[in-house]
């Protein structure tokens, strides 16, 4: 087998979501050589959002349109985006950093990890049929579509209960369905229980999704009573946990208990020249705007790191 080609870049960005693309835009604009590696869909989860109303300056934009515009900006400043060359392994402790793909071995002065996360999908065979047609994973992205509609929320942790509280501003009726007891903090639970729009089903499983072209009802099963019933709903928001895309880096950078990368607001990890940006970074608030902010921060500080390294006085 022929040896893989070695290619040098100033910055390699892993992940082409909002954080990664913003980092690519800024790094390219600072005349750095930039490669973005993405082995899934460009834009990540937000690419499938049907309507975004909380991105500054864009009152109503689809996720796909926003991502395409950001991608064009990044490429306009010289960033190269490769979505077909899967990463096989990395060595971020080396200098330069090594990122090996199926085709090449890249050497980089800095690496920005913006690999994002994935919401755990509703574990039913019908999920794909109704994805975006009644089954959703982002209440902030898609909740407005259900003004005066009947909404179900699946999950029992803080994220699910907070999502349910948020969605009550749109729903005429809201069901919270969870297979065990709620784990959310008491204040959030109390707020939800006191809302007259809300009905809570605990120790209850969702067994099936129903509808013609889009979701119209869910079948639920009460484990205590053994009874089944059908609930007419217009949409369901699933919040049963997330899986950060960090398996590739578990032996390289420090991970939090939930699998996210530990890095401060400056996006620096403990490894010089390695940054974490966006949803993959351990932080409290995760929004499109904060992902873009992380990408901006990581790119600007990556350029400063490269400059300090050339001068022989590495700053980290």
Q: Which of 10, 95, 138, 148 is catalytic?
A: 138
Pairing outcome for strands 104-113 and 97-101 = antiparallel
Coil, helix or strand at residue 20: helix
254-274 b/e (C-beta count within 10 Å ≥ 16 → b): ebeeebbbebeeebbbebbbb
**Catalytic member of 10, 141, 162, 234:** 141
Say which residues have a Cβ less than 8 Å from residue 73's Cβ, sequence separation at least 6. Answer: 21, 25
Which residue in the list 10, 142, 162, 294 is annotated as catalytic? 142
**Listed residue (98, 81, 92) closest to 25, CA to CA:** 81
| Beta carbons within 8 Å of 177's beta carbon, 6+ residues apart | 152, 153, 154, 201, 204, 206, 218, 220
* Best CA proximity match to 23, nearest among 281, 251, 309: 281
Does 142 participate in catalysis according to the annotation?
yes
Residues with catalytic annotation? 138, 141-142
């Amino acid at each position: 087998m022929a040896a893989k080609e070695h290619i040098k870049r100033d910055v390699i960005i892993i992940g082409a979501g909002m954080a990664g693309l913003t980092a690519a835009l800024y790094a390219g604009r600072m005349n750095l050589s930039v490669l973005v590696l993405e082995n899934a869909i460009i834009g990540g989860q937000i690419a499938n959002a049907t309507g975004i109303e909380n991105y500054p300056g864009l009152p109503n934009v689809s996720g796909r349109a926003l991502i395409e515009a950001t991608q064009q900006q990044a490429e306009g400043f010289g960033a190269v985006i490769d979505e077909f060359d899967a990463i096989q392994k990395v060595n971020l402790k080396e200098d330069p950093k090594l990122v090996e793909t199926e085709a090449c071995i890249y050497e980089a002065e800095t690496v920005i990890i913006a690999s994002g996360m994935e919401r755990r999908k509703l574990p039913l065979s019908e999920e794909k049929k109704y994805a975006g047609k009644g089954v959703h994973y982002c209440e902030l992205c898609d909740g407005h579509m259900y003004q005066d509609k009947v909404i179900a929320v699946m999950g029992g942790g803080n994220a699910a209960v907070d999502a349910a509280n948020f969605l009550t501003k749109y729903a005429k009726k809201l069901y919270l369905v969870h297979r065990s007891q709620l784990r959310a903090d008491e204040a959030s639970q109390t707020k939800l229980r006191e809302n007259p729009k809300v009905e809570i089903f605990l120790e209850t499983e969702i067994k099936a999704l129903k509808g013609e072209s889009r979701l119209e009802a869910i079948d639920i099963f009460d484990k205590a009573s053994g009874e089944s019933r059908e609930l007419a709903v217009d949409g369901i928001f699933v919040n049963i946990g997330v899986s950060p895309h960090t398996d590739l880096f578990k032996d390289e950078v420090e991970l939090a208990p939930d699998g996210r990368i530990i890095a401060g607001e400056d996006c620096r990890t403990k490894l010089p020249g390695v940054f974490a940006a966006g949803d993959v970074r351990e932080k409290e608030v995760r929004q499109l705007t904060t992902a873009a902010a992380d990408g901006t921060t990581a790119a600007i500080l990556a350029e400063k790191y490269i400059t300090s390294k050339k001068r022989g006085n590495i700053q980290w």
